[in-house]
Amino acid sequence: MLLNVQAITVNYGAISALRGVTLGAEQGELVSVIGANGAGKTTLLKTISGIIRPAKGNIEFDGNDITRQRPEKIVKSGIVMVPEGRRIFPDLTVKENLELGAYTLKDRHLKKNLFELVLTTFPRLKERLRQHGGTLSGGEQQMLAMGRALMGDPRLLLLDEPSMGLSPIITREIFGLIELIRKEKNISIILVEQNAHMALEHSQRAYVLENGEIVMDGPSSEIKHNPKIIDAYLGV
Amino acid sequence: MDILGYVLQQGINGLQLGAVYALIALGYTMVYGVLRLINFAHGDIFMLGAFVAYFLIAKFGIPIYLVFIITMLACAIAGYLIEKIAYKPLRDAPKISLLITAVGVSLFLEYFLSLNAIFTPNYIAFPRPFDVKGYDLAVFTITNVQVLIFIITFISLFLLYLLIYRTNYGRAMRAVSHDKETAALMGIGIDGIISFTFIVGASLAGVGGILYSIAYPQINVFMGIMPGIKSFIAAVLGGIGIIHGAVIGGLIIGICEVFVSAFLSSTFRDGVIFIILFGVLLFKPSGIFGKRIEKV
Amino acid sequence: MRFFRESWIFLIVSVSIYIILKAFFAFNVISPYIQQICLYAVIVALTSLGLNVIYGYTGQFSLGHAAFYGIGAYTSAYLTKVLSIDGVIPFIPVLVFCGLVSGLVGYLIGIPILRLRDDFLAIATLGFGTLVRVFLDNSDKFAESLGGSRGFVGIPRITNLELVFFFLIFVIIITRNLIHSRYGLFWRCIKDDELAATSVGINTANMKLMAFTYGCMLAGIGGALYANLYSFLHPSNFDILRSIDFLIIVIIGGMGSIMGTIYASIIWVGFIEGLRIVLPAQVLDMRWVVIPILLIALMIWRPYGLMSKRRKV
Amino acid sequence: MKILDVRNLEKSFGGVKAVDQISFHIEEGEVFSIIGPNGAGKTTMFNLITGLYRPDDGRIFFIDRDITKTPTYMLAHLGIARTFQNMRLFGSLTVLENVLSSLLSKRTYNLFSAVMRTKRFAVSEKAAEEKARKFIDFFGLSGKEDYTASSLSYGEQRRLELARALSTEPRLMLIDEPGAGMNPKEIADLAETIKAIRQRYSVTIAIIEHQMNLVMNISDRIMVMDFGEKIMEGTPEEVKKDKRVIEAYLGEEMD
């Protein structure tokens, strides 16, 4: 396993946001985590990326314990998160946003290559390099956020609700790009989604998070046929 | 005397004062950007700069360019230590606790340095490193002090501009001031950037301290209070958190102050500055260059 | 009357303290200098209580409390001098008037600035404090007897133990009644979450203004008592440092605690003035070096105030 | 009868239209839900109705009265109450005080009564407290009156917020994502609670919610929003079948 999350518990004051969550991701695997709003999905990603410290449990990445490391260290070791709602820097240009993504990298040559790669993956960004991030459309902002993360040369990408607020067509485009990134660069991806349809469609394995606990996990193809899941997350 | 010449002359004098305010205001605005804190101790860093320069010139007779470098270094260290010791432990505390701490730091610096064993609370004459010379430009005169202030301020602003808009650190600073959490997700060390911001701001205040003392060669441990507050007002006037706003705000405040002294009475100048503050807070709280931000 | 009936224990304790103090004063157990300090402590308590309503209960951070204290002091000094008042009874309406003047100024300045929050309110109140200071420094231009930067001299000494004690007790009861009424509840709601407060139907602008006006009134009364205790005023008595004095007292006493503020005032004045007696002048200068360190340490150690309960998470 | 009538409402933030020419109305006594993806402008709509934002254009009527410019606190007195997406309780106040805050914000007694502790003061305070305890009891929080709001569990805090809103005795209650962070069992309880509120206090309810099973279970009518625009409005059955809604929000059916 590239990433190994062992029984982490996270508390906000008296409330436990995560209770003994265990999950993992292999090299080059797309893993999705589905669950309702407030189930603890974002907390899980923030804990892996070091923004939140778990009260219990540990997290291993590529054989190293990263449980209590600072976020900048974790980024350096190759885990990059794309936050919910994109959170691009609206007053910085698209180019500056991308350059910030490579903040931890020192190798100029590598940076240049990554920049080229991002622009070929997201050709739409190329046309808008000098524009301020805030002027982009929702879908373009999502691309910028993903491109910015790729600039950090990640081995594991954490995606928080990439489809949030996007139209179905753009959502499909974004998911296509996610697949592309995974295949071409062999990057592992953990995807957190409310849109269970899309998440289960594209991931190899899935976890179901309810009220801070993993209540189910397994291959996505099985999970999407589970009657309970259809009822709770796919139904309508 | 010719009225136009007089007005122009006062304008130049106002720009001289305003340039110094601009240098101090930059520190306020940058620190406010990354921490959302009014760093009350910033005016005292300015004072510290004046005192360090005083010792370097009066006691050691060091050449002027070295005075600038050493003073900036000393102020940078002071700024760094203040942040690490007093502000960092309060990162998650209520905003007002941080503000009270800042007031505490300011008082401590003033009263500690006013001890007789350190600097004394008295006014000290600041030794100018060169004699004042005026150049008559027909309508008004400009002094070599003013020329020095304009040049140094301009160079500082230019370097700061390069730093903020052309380097990785500058980008990181802007990212942190916009959204700390996302900046951290980019691998930016937040604590490092905050320290760096204090260091840059304090160095600029140090430069301001030297220039101010050369222009108005009387120094005192409490000299930082009013210029500090006025520079903060300048930062608010220009739009807090906005670099060029601080510069323009500083110049406006400086010119207003000199004009009020020249045409009204010097005793009213502080009052007028605060009336400007009320005006800004009430009618355009985001400042000249600021964007409107809605609540909720 | 219910007003007194509900506070009888408090009244008994207060009267006992008064009798003990009176005995001390009458038999000269304590020197006139210390007597004066005792009265001063009570005045500081009264004024700090005003700031506690503004900041401790309602969460409106003010760095200009000394300005309202100063307005009360100068108003009283001017009136008692011009009207040559020297008795306690004719002085009482003057006191009330001074409270009303400070309250009115607070009300007028509050209408615009109380829209601001946290640090911007701090800088606005600080600005108002500076304006008042500038005005006092130039006051001789308006009326010669105000003295300007030379200070106001020859104010009749009227303030005595009965007066300060009576006013403090009266104010404590009123404040306590306010705090334990819907108004106090609204103030605390505003401190916790202003937006939620307006959503449940509280007119937050009015309530903030009310707390601010009331707090400034107390400062005005405190200032008036102060002016006629020392018979000399100087603009520097009412600068930012004095505002910080009151702030420290509110913080030490625990924000939102009436008795905490009273104790803290007595401890604080005792500490400052006590040091003046005990320490030689040179060491005395150290006070304002040590106090900020204590303040910073206090903020780091307990950001919600010394006597406040530790917040349960 | 139309209890709330929104006409051509518009609001932009920095050039982006958060609410774009939306009109709808709510009938007295119904449960009206607003659904749509995050960022569709649902909470902005609530903020406009409760006066926290001023619309750029359009009008809002509450029982024939134009409330477009009415301040927030006045709306609470007129009969509009709300809860917040991320709960805004008075954390350092007790449960009882939280509920009392809204009960006492009505004209009860004046400043003079408060200072002088008149009879009116005592009577009003006692009445308000009794009433508050009833609401606390209704939401299953009795026994916790003296706990600070911040010490309650997540679910209890959600219920306390409902209690506080309901205690203003509103005619229209706006509830913003009550089901956020709840598991299916809690959602089911919540549905019962909302039905009970409606029956017992005969209040009209408007809800923003993501949990489809909750929305479909309790709503009489649903409005679907996306990108600040109204996509459609109708009964749960109509919404479920609507092609535009499936495309924009519900997603295509899986095969």
- Cα C68 from Cα C98, distance rounded (Å): 10
| Confidence label for B247 from pLDDT (cuts 50, 70 and 90) | very high
**B127 lies in some domain:** yes
Nearest chain B residue to A85, by CA: B182
pLDDT at residue A218 tops 90:
yes
H or E, element range at D82: strand D80-82
Contact status of D53 with chain B (Cβ, < 8 Å): yes
Q: Which of A15-19, A189-193, C177-181, D245-249 has the lowest mean pLDDT?
A: D245-249
Strands A188-193 and A30-35 turn out to be parallel
Where b means 16+ CB within 10 Å and e means fewer, B144-175 reads: ebbebbbebbeebbeebeeebeeeebbbbbbb
What SS3 string covers A141-192?
HHHHHHHHHHCCCCCEEEEECCCCCCCHHHHHHHHHHHHHHHHHHCCEEEEE
**B290 lies in some domain:** no
Tell me the residue length of chain B: 296
Chain B residues with CB-CB distance to C128 below 8 A: 274
Nearest chain B residue to A50, by CA: B185
User: How would you class B133 by CB atoms within 10 Å of its CB: exposed for 0-12, middle for 13-18, buried for 19 or more?
Assistant: exposed
| Confidence label for C8 from pLDDT (cuts 50, 70 and 90) | confident
For CA atoms A33, A34, A39, A42, give the dihedral sign: positive
The overall average pLDDT reported for chain A is 89
What is the percentage of chain C residues whose pLDDT exceeds 70? Answer: 94
Q: Are A208 and A229 in contact (CB under 8 A)?
A: yes
Plot region of D36 (φ>0 → left; ψ -120 to 50 → alpha; else → beta): left
Instruction: Give me the mean pLDDT over the A189-195 stretch.
Output: 89
Q: Output C306 or D164, whichever has higher pLDDT.
A: D164
Q: What is the pLDDT of residues C226-260, one digit of tens each?
A: 999 998 999 999 988 899 889 989 988 877 889 99
- Cα B251 from Cα A181, distance rounded (Å): 51
User: How would you class D100 by CB atoms within 10 Å of its CB: exposed for 0-12, middle for 13-18, buried for 19 or more?
Assistant: buried
C-alpha distance from residue B82 to each of B42, B111, B156, B160, B198 (Å): 10, 16, 23, 22, 9
CB pair distance less than 8 Å for D90 and C189: yes
Chain C residues with CB-CB distance to D91 below 8 A: 192-193
H or E, element range at D156: helix D154-166
Instruction: Give me the mean pLDDT over the A123-146 stretch.
Output: 89
Q: Quick one: pLDDT at residue D255?
A: 32
Q: For chain B, what is the radius of gyration of the CA atoms?
A: 19
| Confidence label for C33 from pLDDT (cuts 50, 70 and 90) | confident
Q: Which of B92, B101, B237, B295 to mutate to test the interface with C (most CBs of C within 10 A)?
A: B101
**B288 lies in some domain:** no
The token pair at A222 is 């099985």
Strands D31-35 and D204-208 turn out to be parallel
Q: Quick one: pLDDT at residue B132?
A: 87
Q: Output B131 or C96, whichever has higher pLDDT.
A: C96
Chain D residues with CB-CB distance to C197 below 8 A: 90, 101
**B289 lies in some domain:** no
CB pair distance less than 8 Å for D88 and C195: yes
Contact status of D13 with chain B (Cβ, < 8 Å): yes
Q: What is the pLDDT of residues B8-28, one digit of tens each?
A: 999 999 999 999 999 999 999
Instruction: Give me the mean pLDDT over the A29-46 stretch.
Output: 87
Instruction: Give me the mean pLDDT over the B213-240 stretch.
Output: 92
- Cα B296 from Cα A125, distance rounded (Å): 32
For CA atoms D102, D106, D110, D111, give the dihedral sign: positive
DSSP string, C40-67: HHHHHHHHHHHHIIIIIIT----S-HHH
**B156 lies in some domain:** yes
The token pair at A78 is 């190759």
Q: What is the pLDDT of residues C84-93, one digit of tens each?
A: 988 889 999 9
| Confidence label for B130 from pLDDT (cuts 50, 70 and 90) | confident
Terminal Cα-to-Cα distance of chain D (whole angstroms): 43
Of B171, B182, B187, the CB nearest to A96: B171
- Starting at the earlier edge strand, list the strands of the sheet with D221-226: D80-82, D172-176, D204-208, D31-35, D221-226, D229-234
Q: Quick one: pLDDT at residue B275?
A: 87
Q: Which residues are D61's β-sheet partners?
A: D5, D66
Chain B residues with CB-CB distance to D71 below 8 A: none
Query: Chains with 3 or more CB pairs closer than 8 angstroms to A?
Result: B, D
The token pair at D103 is 């009960």
Tell me the residue type at C156: P
Q: Quick one: pLDDT at residue B1?
A: 57
CB pair distance less than 8 Å for C61 and B37: no
The overall average pLDDT reported for chain B is 90
Instruction: Give me the mean pLDDT over the B142-153 stretch.
Output: 94
Contact status of C192 with chain D (Cβ, < 8 Å): yes
Tell me the residue length of chain D: 255
Instruction: Give me the mean pLDDT over the B232-245 stretch.
Output: 91
- Cα A115 from Cα A99, distance rounded (Å): 8
| Confidence label for A236 from pLDDT (cuts 50, 70 and 90) | very low
- Cα B25 from Cα B247, distance rounded (Å): 7
Nearest chain A residue to D241, by CA: A236
| Confidence label for C175 from pLDDT (cuts 50, 70 and 90) | very high
Q: What are phi and psi of D110, to 5 degrees?
A: -100, 180
**B199 lies in some domain:** yes
**B21 lies in some domain:** yes
Q: Output A234 or D78, whichever has higher pLDDT.
A: D78
- Cα D42 from Cα C129, distance rounded (Å): 44
Contact status of B91 with chain C (Cβ, < 8 Å): no
Chain D residues with CB-CB distance to C3 below 8 A: 115-117
User: How would you class B95 by CB atoms within 10 Å of its CB: exposed for 0-12, middle for 13-18, buried for 19 or more?
Assistant: middle
**B292 lies in some domain:** no
Q: Which of A43, A221, A236 to mutate to test the interface with D (most CBs of D within 10 A)?
A: A236
Chain B residues with CB-CB distance to C244 below 8 A: 103, 107
Strands D204-208 and C152-153 turn out to be unpaired
Of D38, D213, D251, the CB nearest to A168: D251
Instruction: Give me the mean pLDDT over the C153-167 stretch.
Output: 91
| Confidence label for C304 from pLDDT (cuts 50, 70 and 90) | low
CB pair distance less than 8 Å for D240 and A198: no
Query: Chains with 3 or more CB pairs closer than 8 angstroms to C?
Result: B, D
pLDDT at residue A235 tops 70:
no
User: How many CB atoms are closer than 10 A to CB B200?
Assistant: 24
| Confidence label for A11 from pLDDT (cuts 50, 70 and 90) | confident
- Cα B119 from Cα C216, distance rounded (Å): 38
pLDDT at residue B292 tops 80:
no
Q: Which of A120-124, B197-201, C219-223 has the lowest mean pLDDT?
A: A120-124
pTM for the model stands at: 0.86
Range of the domain at B275: 3-283
Residue C79: which of C67, C61, C64, C92 has the closest Cα?
A: C92
pLDDT at residue B296 tops 60:
no
- Cα A46 from Cα A3, distance rounded (Å): 14
- Cα C159 from Cα C4, distance rounded (Å): 25
| Confidence label for A166 from pLDDT (cuts 50, 70 and 90) | confident
Q: How many domains does chain B have?
A: 1
Q: Quick one: pLDDT at residue D254?
A: 35
Instruction: Give me the mean pLDDT over the B116-127 stretch.
Output: 86
- Cα C6 from Cα B92, distance rounded (Å): 41
User: How many CB atoms are closer than 10 A to CB D91?
Assistant: 17
CB pair distance less than 8 Å for A37 and D210: yes
Q: How many contacts (CB atoms, under 8 Å) link A and D?
A: 65
Q: Quick one: pLDDT at residue B117?
A: 77
Three-class secondary structure of residue D143 per DSSP:
coil
**Each residue's pLDDT expressed in tens, for chain D with a length of 255 residues:** 899 999 999 998 866 788 999 999 999 999 999 988 766 788 899 999 999 999 999 999 999 899 999 999 999 999 999 999 888 999 999 999 999 999 999 888 999 999 988 899 999 999 999 999 999 999 999 999 999 998 888 788 999 999 999 999 999 999 998 877 666 677 888 899 999 999 999 999 999 987 777 888 899 999 988 878 898 999 999 988 888 777 666 555 433
pLDDT at residue B293 tops 60:
no
The token pair at C244 is 């910080």
- Cα B65 from Cα B56, distance rounded (Å): 11
CB pair distance less than 8 Å for A14 and D151: yes
Q: How many contacts (CB atoms, under 8 Å) link B and C?
A: 117
pLDDT at residue C38 tops 80:
yes
Q: Quick one: pLDDT at residue D41?
A: 86
Location of structure tokens 């969460």: C59
